[in-house]
Structure 1
Amino acid sequence: MTQNNKIWAVVPAAGIGSRMGAERPKQYLPLGGETVLEITLQKLLALDRLEGIVVVLNKADTYWQQTTLVNHPKVYTCFGGEARSDSVLNALKFIQEYAGQASEAWVLVHDAARPCVTLEKITMLIDLVLAEKCGAILASPVSDTLKRVNHSNVVAGTEDRSRLWQAHTPQLFTLTKLKSALEYCREKQLPVTDESSAIETVGGRVRILADRRDNIKVTLPEDLGWAEYILKNQASTGDL
């Protein structure tokens, strides 16, 4: 793998997961005998092509030190910021400064709470990006009817879903372009809901790779049971 093709992973894990209503952040909730975050990181560590993984932690985090991966040689940590975009930006600076990684490297950003992503799809995403030399994300086409509502939650219209996709992670971009886009959005105080939205804001090209629908994000309490079912099904069918 050439210098230009070196790949780092960034896993933002500084959130508190307030919607989960649990006693600890959702990334540290138990899932199949481990934690959500441990399973997510193990998926990424199975990729030989990664130089390393930067896990972005909350400064008040008291759980990371209890994980099984705290001393893994390819797992690094840094502190997050106020928003997800700030946390990712901190990780990019870490990769550049501490790890001494050249700006031409690629960065794979993946949600801590998406433990059901498959290695097959991550590998396909990497192959697509390296072949076309442009950023790309995993996403799935919207299948449900989407309603637009007013402030009183009354339906105001129905959206055309024919060209709508639901963004997933990982999302893969060059370190230089992603860092520049995030810095621009922060300077202009523009909203950043995912890494792709920052790249889009500065006019960057982003490809979509169709993802499996079972790459869910654990957000609500009922998602844990669904994620455990998916992981067991993936293990039984070999879709890891």
Structure 2
Amino acid sequence: MSTTPHTIPCGAIIVAAGNSRRLGHDKLTWTLDGVTVLRRSINAFIDAKNIHSIVVVCPLDRWNEIDHGNFTKPVTRVDGGKERQDSVAAGFAALPTDTQLVAVHDGARPLVSPHDIDRCVEAAHAFGAAALARRATETMKRSDDKDFNTAPVDRHNLWCMETPQVFRVDLLCEATNAITRDNITATDEVSAIEQLGTKVKFVESTSPNLKITTPADLTLAEALVKIQKTS
């Protein structure tokens, strides 16, 4: 019997364990058109046809501040760890044992589209590892330690990394074990997978997928939600 991404158990880990109060308010419980940032992220994975189960890694007090009812897919909450990789490991441990693909997503990216999630899962099914990303479109420059320009950078093959990042379970396990063994702090899961020498297929975003880190990001996200609602 042939397999497709929809028939292969793919679990999602939504990472929302970090300190998100740099805006003076918890950005993950900020509302966009009446729905919290974190719940919007969860909803996107509920709506993605290739996702079978979801683990949200966040503190209990944050979980209690969002609407966490009426889920149409299995959703579990677990506490996070000191580093991102610790939180991902905690989420991974809570996934169903038959999970074969794992999608890791930043909870602060509430505008990710279910379509892009599904495309990323399909690429990981084909290649073993895939990540949503956006081609660099601005002129790129490299600077010295005093922030003066030193040389131009060819942007032709440069990508801005986003999430979700999706991997076969065995690859993610091996990468997690490697960075723990070698005491490496990985900024994202692609960085961890690269430690194995494994190539990751980039999947180009087809819709806005900004990460909310500043007040300006919140303002932009609110505007984008309004546009999406009326389009």
Which residue of structure 2 aligns with residue 210 of structure 1?
Answer: 204
Once the two structures are aligned, what percentage of the paired residues are identical? Answer: 30
Task: Could you list the structure 1 runs, at least 4 aligned residues long, displaced by more than 4 angstroms after superposition.
Answer: 1-4
Distance 1:114 1:148, change over 3 A: same
Question: What is the CA–CA distance in structure 1 between the aligned matches of 2:62 and 2:184, rounded to whole Å?
Answer: 32
CA distance in 2, matches of 1:11, 1:168: 13
* 1:64/1:70 contact within 8 Å kept: no
Q: Specify the alignment match of 1:81 in structure 2.
A: 81
Amino acid of the structure 1 residue aligned with 2:183: Q
SS in 2 for 1:232: helix
Contact 1:40 1:112 in 2 (8 A): yes
1:14-64 Cα offsets, whole Å, 9 max, x none, are: 01125x42232x211222112100111111111243221101113xx4231
- Structure 2: 5+ residue stretches without partners: none
Report the equivalent of 2:116.
121
The residue type equivalent to 2:157 in the other structure is R
Per the alignment, do residues 86 and 133 of structure 1 end up closer, same or farther by CA in structure 2, a change over 3 Å counting?
same
The SS at the match of 1:11 is strand
Deviation of 1:70 after TM superposition, in Å, equals 5.1
Q: How do 1:1-240 residues align onto structure 2 when only pairs under 5 Å count?
A: 5-18=8-21, 20-24=22-26, 26-58=27-59, 61-69=60-68, 72=71, 74-95=74-95, 99=96, 101-102=97-98, 105-130=100-125, 132-212=126-206, 214-237=208-231
How far apart in 1 are the matches of 2:156 and 2:185? 25
- Calculate the TM-score normalised by the size of structure 1: 0.86
Paired residues of 2:127 and 2:201 also in contact (CA < 8 A): no
* Aligned equivalents of 1:134, 1:36: Cα separation in 2: 29
TM-score by length of 2: 0.90
- CA RMSD in angstroms comes to 2.1
Contact kept, 8 Å, 1:148 with 1:158, in 2: the verdict is yes
Structure 1 unaligned runs (5+)?
A: none
Q: Summarize deviations over 1:110-163 as a string: whole Å, max 9, x none.
A: 110111111221122222232x24211111110112222222222232222111
Q: Deviations over 1:46-101 (max 9, x none)?
A: 1243221101113xx42311321157461101111111111101111222xxx3x1
Summarize the Cα distance change of 1:186–1:236 in structure 2 as closer, same or farther, 3 Å threshold. Answer: same
